[in-house]
Amino acid sequence: MRPVETGRYLVTGGAGFIGTNFVHECLRRHPQAQVTVLDKLTYAGNPRNLDPVRNDPRFRFVQGDIADAAIVEPLIAEGFDFVINFAAETHVDRSIGDPASFVKTDVFGVYTLLEAVRKHPVSLFVQISTDEVYGEILDGAATEQSPLLPRNPYSASKAGGDRLAYSYWATYDIPVAITRCSNNYGPYQYPEKLVPLFVTNALQGEKLPVYGSGKNTRDWIHALDHVNAIFHILAADGVEGEVWNIGAENERSVLEIGGELLRLLGKTDALLASVVDRPGHDRRYAVDSSKLRAKTGWKCEVPFEQGLAETVRWYEENADWWRPLKSGEFLDYYKRNYKFL
Ligand code: NAD
Ligand code: DAU
């Protein structure tokens, strides 16, 4: 039995979207757990996300790069039960403009963490990979046995980190589990991704940029259902050396998501606007998570309509969180990235 309730957790990327939700939930669920966050605080990392736990004696924040062995090695030498690696460059559009930082963090950063764990053993290292490593799935759903066919620099870098983590299990017997989750939505998501970009643009009276036909589909899962799946994996036997798909079987197109968000905000579809398509835009992702459900009993608990409505409300009520993010470098990126038709 791994010490899920009393464990010492190192959460890399814990100032980002899913990492933040994991940290909050870990400390809420497990009064005896201790959580250290290691985060570089890139544009996507926000120290304010951790304000609700900052003064908790069970929590500690360390600023640093997972690709920097001089920081990672002594930190992991302190002793952890779990390393959960959320840290990554995560936005597909940015990876198309600048792949270098993706290779550095999403491949070399994973290597640096794995090397430290090789010297200082942990109970479980969880590599948070992504369903994008399968590439576009035009029919059915990818199982953990499906071939990997990443098609953009983000997903290719994530596939590198994913397989590197596996190799440390196969070669050095490091206890590694790899997760491949579908598209998350929820509070604290940086407003470059579809749901928070569309909600905040609509709140600002701006157009919602739809790539291509708007018919590309994703499987949308609430971040707390993803976090819950990770806790199920931490607690289960026999997860080492295995890949775990995590999905909600909740497939929606961009136009469906956009329409639903506008309805929730009391706005019309007139705000939807076509932009030049993302190069190599994957048509569809879909994963089969029956292996995880059968092994651990996990299932999705947040109904999509409720989760989306609560998420919209969160952005409405937390304009002081996202407004400052939609300025400076973000606006330069936004102008560079989108060509309205
Ligand atoms: P995010 O971009 O919101 O957060 C990433 C965090 O990592 C930020 O806090 C950032 O500062 C930090 N970071 C980046 N580079 C770092 C480095 N070199 N060293 C230390 N910290 C660094 O990302 P997210 O959406 O929360 O995604 C978290 C993880 O989940 C990623 O590994 C991503 O690939 C994976 N994932 C995300 C989704 C999704 O829908 N968002 C779905 C499946 C998998
Ligand atoms: O599938 C999991 C992946 O989901 C994660 O690994 C990534 O980190 C995460 O960013 C996400 O990748 P996507 O590329 O699917 O997410 P994004 O929110 O960028 O886009 C979702 C869909 O919406 C996609 O079909 C592109 C479209 N889109 C996106 C944006 C930001 C638009 O049409 N307009 C937009 O402005």
Domain residue limits, the chain: 8-185+219-246, 194-217+251-284+303-337
Average per-residue pLDDT in the chain? 98
Nearest CA to ligand 1 atom 28: 86
- Please choose, from the candidates 320, 326, 185, the residue with its C-alpha nearest in 3D space to the C-alpha of residue 258: 185
Burial class (CB in 10 A: 0-12, 13-18, 19+), 138: exposed
Nearest CA to ligand 2 atom 20: 194
Which among 148, 182, 183 is the best mutation to test ligand 2's pocket, defined by most ligand atoms within 8 Å of the CB?
183
Q: Which residues of 182-195 are buried (b: 16+ CB within 10 A; e: fewer)?
A: bbbbbbbbbbbbbb
pLDDT tens digit string along 56-68?
999 999 999 999 9
106 is annotated as an active-site residue: no
- Please choose, from the candidates 201, 274, 214, the residue with its C-alpha nearest in 3D space to the C-alpha of residue 193: 201
CATH topology of domain 194-217+251-284+303-337: UDP-galactose 4-epimerase; domain 1 (3.90.25)
Q: What is the mean pLDDT of residues 40-51?
A: 98
- Matching CATH topology for 8-185+219-246 and 194-217+251-284+303-337? no
Give the distance (Å) from ligand 2 centre to CA of residue 79. 36
Q: What is the mean pLDDT of residues 149-166?
A: 99
DSSP H or E run through 57: none
Note every long-range contact of 89-94, with CB atoms under 8 Å and residues 24 or more positions apart, other chains counting: 89/42, 89/44, 89/154, 89/157, 90/16, 90/44, 90/154, 91/44, 91/154, 91/190, 91/192, 91/193, 92/132, 92/152, 92/154, 92/155, 92/278, 93/192, 93/278, 93/337, 94/154, 94/192, 94/333
Spatial distance between the Cα atoms of 32 and 38, rounded to a whole number of angstroms = 20
pLDDT of amino acid 21:
99
Give the distance (Å) from ligand 1 centre to CA of residue 16. 6
131 is annotated as an active-site residue: yes
Q: Pick the catalytic residue: 9, 111, 134, 154?
A: 154
pLDDT of amino acid 26:
98
132 is annotated as an active-site residue: yes
Q: Which atom of ligand 2 is nearest to the CA of 158?
A: 6
CATH topology of domain 8-185+219-246: Rossmann fold (3.40.50)
Q: Pick the catalytic residue: 89, 132, 192, 282?
A: 132
pLDDT of amino acid 315:
98
pLDDT of amino acid 213:
96
- Band the pLDDT of 10: cuts 50, 70, 90: very high
Q: Starting from the CA of residue 37, give the closest ligand.
A: 1
pLDDT of amino acid 228:
99
pLDDT of amino acid 16:
99
Q: Starting from the CA of residue 150, give the closest ligand.
A: 2
Which residues does a 6 A CB cutoff place in the pocket of ligand 1?
Answer: 12-13, 15-19, 39-42, 44-45, 65-67, 86-90, 105, 109, 128, 130, 158, 181, 183-184, 190
How many C-beta atoms surround the C-beta of residue 10 within 10 A?
Answer: 29
DSSP H or E run through 131: none
Asked if residue 182 has its Cβ within 6 Å of ligand 2, the reply is yes
Q: What is the mean pLDDT of residues 93-121?
A: 98
Q: What is the pTM of this model?
A: 0.99
Q: Which atom of ligand 2 is nearest to the CA of 193?
A: 18
Spatial distance between the Cα atoms of 166 and 148, rounded to a whole number of angstroms = 14
pLDDT tens digit string along 286-332?
999 999 999 999 999 999 999 999 999 999 999 999 999 999 999 99
DSSP 49: G
pLDDT of amino acid 128:
99
CB 118 within 8 A of CB 172: yes
